[in-house]
Chains A and B, each alone.
Chain A
Amino acid sequence: MATVQLKNIKKIYPHSESKQKKGLFGKKKDEEPEKKHNLQITAEGTVAVQQFSLDIADKEFIVLVGPSGCGKSTTLRMIAGLDTITEGELYIDGRLVNDVPPKGRDIAMVFQNYALYPHMSVYDNMAFALKLRKMPKAEIDRKVREAAEILDITEYLDRKPKALSGGQRQRVAIGRAIVREPQVFLMDEPLSNLDAKLRNQMRSEILKLRQRIDTTFIYVTHDQTEAMTLGDRIVIMRDGFIQQIGTPHEVYNHPHNLFVAGFIGTPQMNFFQTRLECENGEFYVPLYGTRFELNEKQKQMIKERGIEPQEITLGIRPEHVSLCKEGGVEAEVDVSEMMGSSVHLHCSVQGEEVVVIVSGLELGEEHASGFSHGEKVRLHFDSNVLHLFGADEVNLL
């Protein structure tokens, strides 16, 4: 249990380091886990993370989420002490730990590829940290068995990691972290190597675990579903920068910019290039020949912020588009994805793709198994939940 503060953290991978990393046999020794596409490259090196400031409260569950190469794992590794911090300050429980080695930080970490000790049994894997601390054997035994009980791996305690399935290995990795009773629990994409079903199961187990071992969690994932379901707050990153910090509700309903709006939510938010127009002091957004009038709250905000008519990107989530019998915009169904409780319709409207989520209840008899290709439908856009993004991609409202 501890607070974690990151103040203006920056990480630069020096240019020479990548050369040094080539081992004697031409094999890259420390392979970078993520590709670096749009990262800033300076004279000193590749900037993996910059201007990263975040206050994590005691017992908070923070999720760092973003696409590959956004710097989320690097940030976690800096918190763990596995990567050095180039600039900025990191405090754990109020103590500056920039130069403290991992073992002095009282953290535990679960790795993406489990990082179990292959030569040790499950029991020894879990007991290793406690043995190093010279804890009495009886207490080690009690803790290991307790953790194994929680994670339902008691029957595998004598096995080697090689003899376990991916899900079981991940439980062992989590167990190894639990027995330590760390101040901060770090998890680096712990579920990404598991199949979809197991992932869902483990996700709910992590939620249960969190209730049992009430401590600070920092969780890295590229999966926005994991981020939304697990996090008290979510930090969305891209190209080394924080894009938005907020509760799942906030980032979903009030995305700070176009990137966050597109990244959070499946299917992705629909975007339309259009204009914010003003006629007789009334703001509206034209789209496919119809006019979206803004609601009072939106108009109020536009007035307060002195927003001028301009080119915008209009964002509407698929669940805010519905089918209607009359009015609306005519569209043609391209693909109909039956999801069980709902249908995801990929329609084309004047050559642009619009995704619609139609709930099972609305489908009716004739469309019980979805829609056929080329079928004409009419779409209604809910103007109460529009997102307007300016030329700088930032949410105007």
Chain B
Amino acid sequence: MISDRRKNALIFLIPSLILLGVTIVLPLAYSFFISFFSVDLKYKGLGAFMGFGNYASALKDQYFMGSIKTTVIFSVIVVVIEFVLGFAIALLFNCKIKGKNIFFSIVIIPMMITPVAVGLTWRLLLHSTLGVVNWLLSFIGITGHAWLADNATALGTVIFIDVWQQISYMVLILLAGLVSLPKEPYEAASIDGASRWQSFKYVTLPLMAPTFLVAILLRLITAFKTYDLIYVLTKGGPGTATEVVSYYIYKQAFTHLKTSRAAAMSFILLLILIPVSYIATRILRNRNEG
């Protein structure tokens, strides 16, 4: 039997459940369904039943596999840089410094800007002839480099811009973790004879480990899904230098109109991300219980 309390809770939940069902569960189920057919937006209907054919062909598609490789490279580099820099910044904010709140506001501004605006802004800044970046670089003898159009620098530049925008997210999570650390172990450590470095090494780092993991995994998931920034900055180019998997899937669905194929690829991406998010939620749950 459902208790009255639960029944009341359910009544209040129904509107959001319907909304979530219509906007998330239904499209998800539908896309899963069509991933077994050969829906092509140029034609009417579901097309032929393909079974796992779309999945098999996606795995054989060298561009798809290439885009996954690019995504992995992009995500790992972005997360490593953001983590190291972000932790350093978080440590600074955790100290007593004057004007901390002002600096903090500045650091989190990029997070509040939409990726499209960030992309457009940086495209202007990095413009090979009109951009401020190249103008400034010209003073030290570097001239007219097309940062986003050069195969060698495109991915690096996208990574730089993503770090610029997303680092505040890392700072925020890590700082929240630092602030919530108990202060007693530090006092105990200082009495036990630990130097500041030893306190950091033996107290801060181990106590922060769960936060580190959560921050890294959450950021890894979002980095893996990066799409908007790529769309605005490079459209996957030059060539396929910056073609990440989300953008490749988008292209399959809306440029080539191969909806079923794109759906199958999306579910492959989902399969890659499920273990990562599972680990992240497990850690979060353990931490909340502990």
- Residues of A in contact with B (beta carbons under 8 Å apart): 20, 23-25, 27, 29-30, 80-82, 101-103, 107-109, 111, 113-120, 128-129, 132-133, 162, 176, 180
Q: Indicate if the CB atoms of B191 and A103 lie closer than 8 Å.
A: yes
Are A103 and B185 in touch, CB under 8 angstroms?
no
* A-B interface pairs (CB < 8 A), number: 77
B188 touches A115 (CB 8 A): yes
CB distance from A310 to the nearest CB of B (A): 49
**B-side contacts of A114, CB under 8 Å:** 184
- A82 near B190 with CB under 8 A, answer yes
Kindly state the separation between the CA atoms of A115 and B179 in the bound complex, as whole angstroms: 17
- Complex CA–CA separation, A109 to B179 (angstroms): 24
Q: CB-CB < 8 A to B179: which residues of A?
A: 23-25, 27, 29
Q: Does B206 contact A (CB under 8 A)?
A: yes
Closest A residue by C-beta to B205? A119
Interface of A is mostly: loop
CB-nearest residue of chain B relative to A162? B290
Q: Which residues of B contact A109 (CB under 8 A)?
A: 187-188, 191
B4 within 8 A of A: no
Which residues from 26 to 76 on chain B have a C-beta closer than 8 Å to any C-beta of chain A? none
In the complex, which residues of chain A have a beta carbon less than 8 angstroms from the beta carbon of B198?
A: 132
The residues of A that contact B194 with a CB separation of less than 8 Å are: 103, 128, 132
Q: Are A103 and B184 in contact (CB under 8 A)?
A: no
Q: Bound complex: CA of A117 vs CA of B183, how far in Å?
A: 11
Which of B96-104, B152-160, B274-282 binds A?
A: B96-104
Q: How many whole Å from B126's CB to the nearest CB in chain A?
A: 32
Bound CA–CA A395/B114 (angstroms): 74
A147 CB to closest chain B CB (Å) equals 14
Contact of B191 among A27, A107, A117, A133 (CB under 8 A): A107
* Cα–Cα distance between A24 and B105 once the two chains are bound (Å): 11
Q: At the interface, yes or no: B203 with Cβ under 8 Å from chain A? A: yes
Min Cβ gap B194→A in Å is: 6
Q: Which of B79-129 contact A (CB under 8 A)?
A: 93, 96, 100-101, 104
Is B136's CB within 8 Å of the partner chain A? no
Inter-chain contacts of B202 with A (CB < 8 A)? 117, 128
Does more than half of chain B's interface fall in helix, strand or loop, or is it mixed?
helix
Interchain CB contact under 8 A, A103 and B188: no
13 A-B interface contacts by CB (under 8 A)? A24-B175, A25-B179, A82-B191, A103-B195, A109-B187, A111-B188, A116-B188, A117-B185, A117-B189, A117-B206, A128-B202, A132-B192, A180-B192
**B176 contacts partner chain A, Cβ-Cβ < 8 Å:** yes
B193 contacts partner chain A, Cβ-Cβ < 8 Å:
yes
Complex formed: what's the CA distance from A329 to B176 in Å?
66
B interface residues (Cβ-Cβ under 8 A, vs A): 93, 96, 100-101, 104, 175-176, 179-180, 182-185, 187-195, 198, 202-203, 206-207, 209, 290
For B189, what are the chain A residues with a Cβ–Cβ distance below 8 Å?
Answer: 117, 128
Known: A24-B104, A24-B179. A108 touches B191 (CB 8 A): yes
Q: List chain A residues, Cβ under 8 A from B193.
A: 103, 129, 132-133
**Contact across chains for A24 and B190 when beta carbons are under 8 A apart:** no
B188 touching A117, Cβ below 8 Å: yes
Q: In the assembled complex, how far is the CB of residue A47 from the closest CB belonging to chain B, in whole angstroms?
A: 23
Chain B residues with CB under 8 Å of A118's CB are: 182, 185, 207
Q: Is the CB of B187 within 8 A of A111?
A: yes
Further 5 A-B residue pairs, CB within 8 A, beyond A27-B179, A27-B180, A82-B191 = A30-B183, A80-B187, A119-B209, A128-B194, A132-B192
CB distance from A157 to the nearest CB of B (A): 18
A82 touches B192 (CB 8 A): no
Residues from chain A with a CB closer than 8 A to the CB of B101 are 24
Q: Which B residues are CB-close (under 8 A) to A113?
A: 184
Report chain B residues within 8 Å CB of A27.
179-180
Measured CA separation A42–B158 after assembly (Å): 57
Q: A129-B193, A133-B193 are in contact. Are A119 and B187 (CB under 8 A)?
A: no
| Beta-carbon contact of B183 and A29 below 8 Å | yes
Are A116 and B191 in contact, CB atoms less than 8 angstroms apart? no
* CB <8 Å contact, A101 and B184: no
Query: Known interface pairs A103-B192, A119-B206, A133-B193. Does A111 touch B184 (Cβ–Cβ under 8 Å)?
Result: yes
Chain A residues near B182 (CB, 8 Å)? 115, 118
Q: Tell whether, in the assembled complex, residue B183 and residue A176 are in contact, meaning their CB atoms are under 8 Å apart.
A: no
B185 contacts A116, C-beta separation under 8 Å: yes
Shortest Cβ gap from A154 to chain B (Å) = 21
Bound-state CA distance A115–B203 (Å) is 12
Q: How far is the CA of A180 from the CA of B191 in the complex (A)?
A: 10
